[in-house]
């Protein structure tokens, strides 16, 4: 067995499990090994009911007491069970698990693990996990890896498969030299791989993670350097002039550009008319109005008789851009001939689109990655804009160049990062900053609350809906995962429906839905046939529904502040007062203080840096700050130090052996080739 062996050859992995792994993009044993845990859980010894602290995840050993009580609220089945020990009693509530009233024996002792809540002097737990004493004993006092699961796949099954793969595969060859490892204080690749899955202790875990994060950043930066060399000083094959169309477009807009927008538009115009090809990043906080700038550039391109492409990270976002642009076309911006090109279109629709793109009949192509697939032949592609997806990579650029296309590149990012990091991460781009929000904005009102506030929050959402507004509710996971006491989109939606008036339309959205379903839901939300949208962070990037005024985030303690800030950016986009409700299940002071930072500032840079100050390295597992950079394990904020180290290592190597020709770099060269070959969709390259 080696890393290319299909997972089905592992013992215990049958056809069913293979399909589940496939859903997680795991096909080979190698894929499985680089499926790193999402976080680690330390199962403490069970406590008594009397000692269980509210707001904390804990395990309680107690006996089932009294007759379970069942009821139904619309489609939701609710089961209440009382449990007790010598120190007190507690009520457990289960949703849609009617079978439990039979499986839990009267008077039997079990371990119930969940978050204790209080209602007055009364303690309760919702949807706890149930263990026998024996099962629980095996889990205590270790760092247990938790994987991002999919329904039907248990954490245990993943652990078992990984254990087997680790012992059956020959060790991976070390691709850095010994001196390199010493210089950068890194441990061996094989050790790191074992320890990331099954760490002996926190110290080992931190070291393993550092190595893997370093690898990821190193490969990224190395390939980016190639990109820079490839595109630096590339001659402008599509020199453009400003025409009356952009001026007319600005008159069509219901608002004047901010000063920052005007400045950046000037920079873009200059680039596109200059002797060298544009390679520019527009950085600007959420809501700073970057879309308009992209449109201006695309419009100038069309007016000069060329084609432009706008790439978005999701179909939902692509469809939204298409709608916005079609609106401007209807209002008279007729030089634009937009076309949508996304993966979920039928083969026939795609074929027709390809035809219109090849003939030049369409001059603005809006879509996702499908856009740059080799099947697409452009007539004269002069500009590629990527939105909320920070890289247009060397691979993509090379693919186009092979077809004779050397377009201008414009990258738009809302990820707030300090200048030092920006220079490392965007070393191949010129940077423009939109450092001003439109003036018509009312500041968003925020509150940080515990779960007992939910009832009020729901009343508030009802009130806003009655006033004609819409709301988002964010949950950290898609569906119930093993070992988890986090809110999930699917069950939460049902709960919420039973708690809001029946005439309020509630729907859900998450990343695992079919693209066409996602698009439909987003369209309905934008058209206001849906009032409340329960979603994962898929809506974090770019969605623009100015009528939405409430953003409620469940398990807010699970998110990095930079990410919460991005979520907050989905409201406050129109003229109405907007509100954010951050619900924390943990009530300890530390968590509350951290979340309060969101109250102090609306500045993404400031928020991200404060968050880091308050945390230790052990706190960072399982929390990602940036959704936009799609690193597998590294996080530009949490791992800024490693990023700097990797950058220094790439610089040093580039001085000595930039194309990795020395014999001792053979292994590294092979490794990087593999990474870059696997990264056609490696959005971060």
Residues binding ligand ADP (CB under 6 A):
255, 257-258, 261, 284, 286-292, 414, 438, 440, 544, 546, 573
CA distance 534 to 496: 9
- In the complex with ligand ADP, the residue whose CB is nearer, 328 or 460, is 328
Closest separation between CB of residue 591 and ligand ADP, Å?
28
Closest separation between CB of residue 119 and ligand ADP, Å?
40
HEC secondary structure over 368-400: CHHHHCCCCCCCCEEEEEEECCCCCCHHHHHHH
- In the complex with ligand ADP, the residue whose CB is nearer, 284 or 627, is 284
Closest separation between CB of residue 411 and Mg ion, Å?
12
Closest separation between CB of residue 18 and ligand ADP, Å?
40
- In the complex with ligand ADP, the residue whose CB is nearer, 294 or 521, is 294
- In the complex with ligand ADP, the residue whose CB is nearer, 193 or 264, is 264
- In the complex with Mg ion, the residue whose CB is nearer, 481 or 542, is 542
Nearest alpha-carbon partner for 561 in 513, 600, 511, 510 = 600
Closest separation between CB of residue 202 and Mg ion, Å?
38
Q: Which stretch binds Mg ion (CB under 5 A): 34-42, 206-214, 339-347, 542-550?
A: 542-550
Mark 452-476 as b/e (b = at least 16 C-beta within 10 Å).
eebeebbebbbebbeeebbbbbbbb
Q: Which stretch binds Mg ion (CB under 5 A): 140-148, 299-307, 535-543, 563-571?
A: 535-543
CA distance 390 to 411: 6
Q: Kindly identify the residues of this chain, within the stretch 132-151, that bind Mg ion according to CB under 5 A.
A: none
In degrees, rounded to 5, the angle at the alpha carbon of residue 281 between the alpha carbons of residues 305 and 321 is 60
Q: Report the residue from 128, 393, 542, 627 that binds Mg ion according to the rule CB under 5 A.
A: 542
Query: Which residues, other chains included, contact 571 with Cβ-Cβ below 8 Å and sequence gap of 6+?
Result: 444, 472, 548, 549, 550, 551, 578, 579, 580
CA distance 407 to 397: 9
- In the complex with ligand ADP, the residue whose CB is nearer, 241 or 255, is 255
Per-residue interface string for the shown chain with Mg ion, residues 447-486, x marking contact by CB under 5 A: ----------------------------------------
Closest separation between CB of residue 313 and Mg ion, Å?
11
88 contact, one of Mg ion, ligand ADP, none, CB 5-8 Å limit per kind: none
622 contact, one of Mg ion, ligand ADP, none, CB 5-8 Å limit per kind: none
Sheet with 506-509, strands from edge to edge, namely 445-450, 579-584, 548-553, 470-474, 532-535, 506-509
Nearest alpha-carbon partner for 46 in 90, 98, 94 = 90
| Cβ-contact 627, 563 below 8 angstroms | yes
Largest CA distance in the chain: 82
CA distance 155 to 157: 5
For ligand ADP, the nearest residue by Cβ is 289
In degrees, rounded to 5, the angle at the alpha carbon of residue 523 between the alpha carbons of residues 519 and 524 is 120
CA distance 232 to 684: 19
Closest separation between CB of residue 310 and Mg ion, Å?
11
- In the complex with ligand ADP, the residue whose CB is nearer, 240 or 260, is 260
CA 135 to each of CA 61, 130, 139, 144: distance values in angstroms, whole numbers, following the listed order:
13, 10, 7, 13
- In the complex with ligand ADP, the residue whose CB is nearer, 28 or 577, is 577
Burial classification of residue 15, based on how many CB atoms lie within 10 Å of its CB (0-12 exposed, 13-18 middle, 19 or more buried): exposed
Closest separation between CB of residue 312 and Mg ion, Å?
9
**DSSP annotation of 237:** S
Q: Which stretch binds Mg ion (CB under 5 A): 100-108, 206-214, 540-548, 589-597?
A: 540-548
288 contact, one of Mg ion, ligand ADP, none, CB 5-8 Å limit per kind: ligand ADP
Q: Which stretch binds Mg ion (CB under 5 A): 113-121, 425-433, 538-546, 596-604?
A: 538-546
- In the complex with ligand ADP, the residue whose CB is nearer, 414 or 675, is 414
- In the complex with ligand ADP, the residue whose CB is nearer, 55 or 604, is 604
In degrees, rounded to 5, the angle at the alpha carbon of residue 493 between the alpha carbons of residues 93 and 544 is 145
CA distance 285 to 288: 6
- In the complex with ligand ADP, the residue whose CB is nearer, 246 or 591, is 246
Q: Which two tokens stand for residue 537?
A: 């962070």
Identify how many contiguous H helices and E strands the chain contains and give both numbers.
Answer: 23, 21
| Cβ-contact 449, 583 below 8 angstroms | yes
Closest separation between CB of residue 294 and Mg ion, Å?
8
Closest separation between CB of residue 576 and ligand ADP, Å?
12
| Cβ-contact 375, 400 below 8 angstroms | no
416 contact, one of ligand ADP, Mg ion, none, CB 5-8 Å limit per kind: none
Pairing of β 122-126 and β 109-119: antiparallel
230 contact, one of Mg ion, ligand ADP, none, CB 5-8 Å limit per kind: none
Unique residue bearing structure tokens 């009312």:
442
- In the complex with ligand ADP, the residue whose CB is nearer, 18 or 263, is 263
- In the complex with Mg ion, the residue whose CB is nearer, 287 or 476, is 287
Beta-bridge partner residues of 281: 411, 431
Closest separation between CB of residue 637 and Mg ion, Å?
20
440 contact, one of ligand ADP, Mg ion, none, CB 5-8 Å limit per kind: ligand ADP
Q: Which two tokens stand for residue 227?
A: 């990109």
Closest separation between CB of residue 512 and ligand ADP, Å?
25
- In the complex with ligand ADP, the residue whose CB is nearer, 282 or 583, is 282
296 contact, one of ligand ADP, Mg ion, none, CB 5-8 Å limit per kind: none
Q: From the CA atom positions of the chain, what is the Rg in Å?
A: 26
Closest separation between CB of residue 270 and ligand ADP, Å?
20
Closest separation between CB of residue 322 and ligand ADP, Å?
14
617 contact, one of ligand ADP, Mg ion, none, CB 5-8 Å limit per kind: none
Q: Which stretch binds Mg ion (CB under 5 A): 113-121, 197-205, 330-338, 537-545?
A: 537-545
Closest separation between CB of residue 388 and Mg ion, Å?
6
- In the complex with Mg ion, the residue whose CB is nearer, 149 or 509, is 509
Say whether 433 sits in a helix, a strand or coil.
strand
Nearest alpha-carbon partner for 549 in 450, 604, 468, 448 = 468
158 contact, one of Mg ion, ligand ADP, none, CB 5-8 Å limit per kind: none
DSSP-assigned letters across all residues of 259-288:
HHHHHHHHHHHHHHHSSB--EEEEEE-TTS
For Mg ion, the nearest residue by Cβ is 542
- In the complex with ligand ADP, the residue whose CB is nearer, 290 or 645, is 290
How many chain residues are in contact with Mg ion, going by CB under 5 A? Answer: 1
Q: Which stretch binds Mg ion (CB under 5 A): 117-125, 493-501, 513-521, 541-549?
A: 541-549
Closest separation between CB of residue 635 and ligand ADP, Å?
21
Query: Footprint of Mg ion on this chain (CB under 5 A)?
Result: 542
């Amino acid at each position: 067995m080696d890393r290319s062996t299909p997972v089905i050859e592992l013992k215990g992995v049958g056809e069913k499990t293979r399909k589940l792994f496939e859903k997680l993009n795991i096909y080979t044993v190698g894929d499985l090994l680089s499926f790193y845990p999402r976080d680690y859980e330390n199962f403490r010894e069970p406590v008594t009911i009397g000692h269980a602290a509210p707001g904390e995840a804990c395990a309680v050993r107690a006996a089932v007491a009294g007759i379970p009580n069942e009821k139904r609220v619309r489609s939701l089945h609710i089961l209440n069970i009382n449990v007790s020990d010598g120190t007190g009693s507690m009520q457990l509530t289960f949703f849609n698990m009617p079978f439990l009233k039979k499986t839990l024996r009267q008077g039997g002792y079990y371990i119930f693990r969940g978050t204790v809540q209080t209602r007055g002097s009364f303690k309760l737990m919702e949807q706890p996990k149930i263990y026998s004493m024996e099962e629980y004993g095996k889990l205590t006092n270790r760092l247990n890896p938790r994987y991002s699961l999919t329904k039907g796949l248990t954490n245990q099954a993943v652990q078992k498969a990984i254990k087997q793969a680790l012992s059956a595969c020959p060790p991976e060859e070390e691709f850095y030299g010994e001196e390199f490892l010493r210089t950068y204080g890194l441990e061996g690749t094989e050790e790191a791989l074992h320890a990331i899955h099954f760490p002996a202790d926190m110290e080992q875990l931190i070291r393993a993670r550092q190595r893997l994060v370093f690898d990821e950043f190193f490969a990224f930066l190395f390939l980016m350097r190639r990109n820079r060399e490839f595109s630096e000083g590339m001659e402008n094959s599509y020199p453009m002039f400003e025409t009356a169309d952009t001026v007319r477009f600005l008159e069509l807009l219901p608002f004047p550009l901010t000063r920052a927008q005007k400045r950046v538009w000037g920079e873009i115009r200059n680039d596109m008319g200059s002797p060298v090809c544009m390679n520019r990043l527009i950085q600007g906080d959420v809501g700073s109005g970057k879309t308009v700038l992209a449109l201006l550039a695309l419009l100038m391109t069309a007016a000069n008789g060329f084609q432009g492409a706008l790439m978005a990270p999701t179909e939902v976002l692509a469809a939204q851009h298409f709608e916005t642009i079609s609106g401007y076309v209807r209002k008279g911006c007729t030089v634009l001939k937009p076309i949508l090109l996304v993966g979920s279109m039928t083969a026939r629709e795609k074929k027709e689109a390809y035809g219109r793109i090849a003939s030049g009949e369409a001059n603005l192509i809006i879509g996702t990655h499908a856009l740059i697939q080799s099947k697409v032949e452009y007539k004269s592609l002069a500009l590629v804009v990527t939105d909320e997806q920070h890289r247009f990579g060397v691979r993509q650029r090379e693919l186009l160049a092979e077809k004779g296309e050397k377009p201008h590149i414009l990258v738009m990012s809302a990820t707030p990062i300090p200048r030092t990091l920006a220079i490392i991460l965007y070393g191949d781009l010129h940077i423009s900053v939109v450092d001003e929000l439109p003036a018509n904005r009312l500041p968003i009102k925020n509150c940080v609350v515990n779960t007992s506030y939910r009832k009020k929050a729901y009343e508030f959402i009802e009130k806003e809906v009655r006033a004609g507004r819409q709301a988002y509710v964010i949950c950290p996971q898609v569906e119930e995962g093993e070992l988890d006491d986090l809110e999930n989109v699917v069950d939460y939606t049902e709960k919420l429906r039973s708690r809001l008036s029946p005439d309020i339309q509630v729907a859900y959205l998450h990343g695992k839905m079919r693209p066409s379903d996602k698009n439909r839901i987003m369209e309905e939300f934008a058209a206001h046939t849906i009032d409340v949208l329960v979603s994962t962070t898929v809506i974090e990037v770019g969605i623009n529904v100015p009528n939405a005024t409430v953003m409620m985030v469940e398990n807010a303690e699970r998110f990095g502040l930079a990410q919460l800030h991005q979520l907050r950016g989905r409201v406050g986009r129109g003229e109405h007062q907007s509100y954010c409700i951050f619900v924390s299940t943990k009530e300890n002071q530390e968590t509350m203080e951290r979340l309060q930072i969101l109250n102090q500032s609306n500045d993404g840079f400031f928020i991200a840096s404060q968050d880091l100050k308050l945390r230790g390295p052990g706190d960072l597992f399982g929390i990602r700050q940036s959704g936009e950079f799609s690193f597998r394990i590294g996080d530009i904020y949490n791992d800024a130090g490693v990023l700097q180290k990797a950058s220094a290592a790439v610089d040093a190597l580039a001085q000595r052996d930039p194309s990795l020709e020395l014999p001792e770099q053979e292994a590294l060269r092979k490794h990087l080739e593999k990474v870059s070959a696997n990264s056609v969709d490696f959005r971060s390259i």
